[in-house]
């Protein structure tokens, strides 16, 4: 079945707007080719030839929205992405938190977790820390809007480029925390027991009290416009404990946004003590 190549401007704009409505991701008109490429496979699967008909399917069948979100999000990630952040996490943030909060449980949030490599990197560093500090306790919440990536995270099963990257960068941790399983490697029960994966849209408020001590909100703000970034950061601020730490991605910045975080060092911010108005 041939899928149309010439799409009218109204349909293009309506689909780009749907991306924004369902994910908060801002796609300018020039991103149409990218979106078209991603939607093409879905049209094929649904045996549709016109993008306009896919719009109608999205409107008539709310259950299609999940598949749409899975297609339009970019889920690239890796274990120990941006190594200097992980050095800081291991050498400064964990010891500092442990010194100040004996007896408590460190609450970590991987806030755009994708397939879970970031959350399991947190867990490996925490397990190593626990070896030397048996009283240390931690919990990790890993959230994302896309259900297909969360399924990989929940399974804790990795193959190909993802696990090969860990093997190369951290052979000791790879040996200690991953076992061969089928055509890939499975995260150890000790890692999996500490990570909870959940669907969450960053534009919505996370339920529960302000609790996270360390939040990684990395490589996702870039997809939102300024208003969206502010909204997401305000929600993150609400979910985080006073004095807690926020870590963002390499091409992101909070300068100009004025959302209740103080700059601590590149990519690392501290939530202001006083409630943000
Ligand atoms: C490029 S990945 C970043 C993964 C990881 N944080 C890292 O830095 O490697 C961006 C992730 O953000 C998720 N995402 C996009 N919009 C979102 C939203 N509104 N709420 C929650 N997650 C979202 C995507 O599904 C994707 O998995």
Mutational pocket test of ligand 1: of 144, 161, 217, 222, the residue with most ligand atoms within 8 Å of the beta carbon: 144
Q: For residue 111, give the nearest of 173, 19, 203 by alpha carbon.
A: 203
Q: Are residues 162 and 93 part of one domain?
A: yes
Pairing of strands 178-181, 184-187: antiparallel
213 within ligand 1 shell (Cβ under 6 A): no
Distance 58 CA to ligand 1 centre (A): 22
Q: Are residues 66 and 94 part of one domain?
A: no
Give the model's pLDDT for residue 208: 84
Distance 113 CA to ligand 1 centre (A): 6
Distance 111 CA to ligand 1 centre (A): 8
Mutational pocket test of ligand 1: of 112, 140, 147, 251, the residue with most ligand atoms within 8 Å of the beta carbon: 112
Total count of domains within the chain: 2
DSSP string, 113-176: -TTSHHHHHHHHHHHHHHHH-TT-EEEEEEEES-HHHHHHHHHTEE-HHHHHHHHHH-HHHHHH
How is residue 168 written in tokens? Answer: 């190369």
Q: Are residues 129 and 24 part of one domain?
A: no
Residue 3 lies in a domain: no
Q: Which residues contact 23 (CB under 8 A, 6 or more apart)?
A: 69, 72, 73, 145, 201, 223
Distance 21 CA to ligand 1 centre (A): 16
> What CATH number does residue 242 fall under?
3.40.50.150
Pairing of strands 105-110, 137-144: parallel
22 within ligand 1 shell (Cβ under 6 A): no
CA distance 152 to 29: 31
Q: Are residues 207 and 126 part of one domain?
A: yes
Which of ligand 1's atoms lies nearest the C-alpha of 200? 21
Which of ligand 1's atoms lies nearest the C-alpha of 78? 9
Q: Are residues 212 and 124 part of one domain?
A: yes
Range of the domain at 65: 9-72
Q: Are residues 256 and 178 part of one domain?
A: yes
Q: Which residues contact 222 (CB under 8 A, 6 or more apart)?
A: 249, 251, 252
How open is the CA angle 134-265-80, to the nearest 5 degrees? 55
How far, in whole angstroms, is CA 103 from its chain's centroid?
Answer: 29
Q: Are residues 137 and 35 part of one domain?
A: no
112 within ligand 1 shell (Cβ under 6 A): yes
State percent of the chain over pLDDT 70.
99
Mutational pocket test of ligand 1: of 71, 114, 165, 218, the residue with most ligand atoms within 8 Å of the beta carbon: 114
Give the model's pLDDT for residue 235: 96
Give the model's pLDDT for residue 276: 47
Residue 78 lies in a domain: no
Q: Are residues 153 and 18 part of one domain?
A: no
Q: At what angle do helices 32-45 and 64-72 cross, to 10 degrees?
A: 140
Burial category of 211 from C-beta neighbours within 10 Å (exposed 0-12, middle 13-18, buried 19 and up): middle
In the chain, DSSP finds a helix count (H) and a strand count (E) of: 12, 10
Give the model's pLDDT for residue 215: 98
pLDDT along the chain (277 residues), means of 10: 87 96 95 94 95 96 97 97 98 98 96 98 98 97 98 98 98 98 98 98 91 98 97 96 96 92 96 67
Residue 199 lies in a domain: yes
81 within ligand 1 shell (Cβ under 6 A): yes
Q: Are residues 246 and 222 part of one domain?
A: yes
Give the model's pLDDT for residue 274: 64
Residue 228 lies in a domain: yes
Q: Rounded to 5 degrees, what are φ and ψ at 145?
A: -85, -20
162 within ligand 1 shell (Cβ under 6 A): no
Q: Are residues 138 and 261 part of one domain?
A: yes
Residue 276 lies in a domain: no
């Amino acid at each position: 079945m041939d899928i149309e190549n010439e799409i009218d401007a109204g349909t293009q704009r309506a689909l780009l707007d749907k991306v924004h409505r369902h994910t908060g991701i801002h796609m300018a008109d020039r991103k149409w080719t990218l979106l078209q490429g991603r939607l093409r496979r879905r049209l094929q699967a649904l045996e549709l030839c016109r993008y306009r008909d896919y719009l109608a399917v999205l409107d008539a069948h709310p259950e299609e929205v999940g598949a749409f979100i899975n297609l339009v999000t970019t889920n690239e990630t890796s274990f120990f992405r941006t190594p200097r952040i992980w050095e800081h996490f291991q050498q400064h943030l964990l010891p500092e938190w442990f010194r100040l909060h004996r007896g408590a449980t460190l609450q970590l949030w991987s806030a755009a977790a994708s397939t879970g490599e970031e959350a399991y990197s947190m867990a490996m560093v925490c397990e190593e820390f626990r070896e030397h500090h048996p009283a240390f306790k931690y919990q990790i919440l890993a959230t994302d809007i896309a259900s297909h990536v969360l399924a990989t995270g929940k399974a804790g099963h990795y193959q190909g480029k993802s696990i090969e990257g860990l093997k190369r960068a951290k052979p000791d941790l790879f040996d200690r925390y991953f076992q061969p399983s089928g055509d890939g490697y499975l995260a150890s029960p000790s890692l999996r027991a500490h990570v909870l994966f959940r669907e969450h849209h960053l534009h919505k408020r996370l339920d529960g009290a302000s609790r996270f001590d360390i939040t990684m909100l990395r490589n996702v703000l870039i997809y939102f416009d300024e208003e969206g970034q502010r909204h997401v950061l305000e929600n993150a601020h609400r979910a985080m404990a006073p004095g807690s730490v926020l870590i963002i991605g390499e091409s992101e910045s909070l300068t100009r946004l004025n959302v209740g975080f103080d700059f601590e060092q590149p990519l690392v911010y501290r939530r202001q003590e006083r409630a943000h108005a």
